Amino acid sequence: MNFPLIAPSVLSADFANLGRDIEMINNSEADWFHIDVMDGVFVPNISFGFPVIKAIQKQAKKTMDVHLMIVQPERYIKDFKAAGADILSVHYEASTHLHRTLYAIKEEGMKAGVAINPHTPVHLLKDIIKDIDLVCMMSVNPGFGGQKFIEQTYTKCADLKAMILASGSDCLIEIDGGVNEITAPKLLASGADVLVAGNYVFASNNPTETIASLKKLGTHTTQLA
Ligand code: DX5
Ligand code: ZN
């Protein structure tokens, strides 16, 4: 598998032309579909739910990476599996019994991710890092596409990488928010494996080329666990 993995965020797609935008991702060098689910409670925005995810899944030919920005995410694990999620990430801040939730996700045959807000220190993941397949590190406050990247993320990403290496975990680091041609190379140098990109891809003149330009920043190759 060639890193970085590129995960265009469907949140920035044109919903009136969703089929066209899904097809663009299918035919691009992107690796995953990043699907943002917001409940208007955990974050101050509402995005979309099961009918839309199922419709995307019908047409999508790549991994469905679902990022839940909802309270009590453990309520809907089976539903997201049924909707087509391959990777399901829940927020650390929204999960009282995170360990139980991660194993419930794995039990359904999905990869289990943990998303952390910009204010959440990575050391809080220390005792659970070996149980996590993916850390979705928020580099903006979750809720909206097109926000300004938070610079502290580089240090945080390097700290998390060190923790992962020390633990022997094969957890991937995904960076979510404000990824572009300036931030991406520095993120990869800090240990990032997966780059989510919404606005940078969909507001560009040639989204397919923009995805290819991120993919070209290639860092390393590894086996998928
Ligand atoms: C924000 C979402 C992100 C968002 C990223 O809450 O989790 O996935 O779509 O958008 P950009 O790349 O535009 O910052
Ligand atoms: Zn996201």
Q: Mean pLDDT per 10-residue run, the chain (225 residues)?
A: 96 98 98 98 98 98 99 98 98 98 98 99 98 98 98 98 97 98 98 98 98 91 58
pLDDT at 187: 98
**Catalytic annotation, residues:** 36, 176
Provide Rg for the chain, Cα atoms. 16
pLDDT at 1: 82
Q: Is 69 exposed, middle or buried (0-12, 13-18, 19+ CB in 10 A)?
A: buried
pLDDT at 222: 65
Preceding omega of 121 cis (within 30 degrees of 0): no
- Ligand 1 binding pocket includes 11 (Cβ within 6 Å): yes
Give residue 114's region: left, alpha or beta (phi > 0; psi -120 to 50).
Answer: beta
Measured by CA distance, the residue closest to atom 14 of ligand 1 is 177
Question: 36 CA to middle of ligand 2, Å?
Answer: 5
pLDDT at 66: 99
- Counting from 1 in the atom list of ligand 1, the atom nearest the Cα of 178 is 14
Q: Which domains does the chain have, with CATH numbers?
A: 5-215 (3.20.20.70)
- Ligand 1 binding pocket includes 153 (Cβ within 6 Å): no
Can you spell out the DSSP letters for 17-49? Answer: GHHHHHHHHHTSS--EEEEEEEBSSSSS-B---
pLDDT at 223: 55
**One-letter amino acid identity for 64?**
M
Residue owning tokens 């920035």: 12
Question: 51 CA to middle of ligand 2, Å?
Answer: 18
Question: 182 CA to middle of ligand 1, Å?
Answer: 16
Q: What is the pTM of this model?
A: 0.97
Q: Which two tokens stand for residue 216?
A: 């070209």
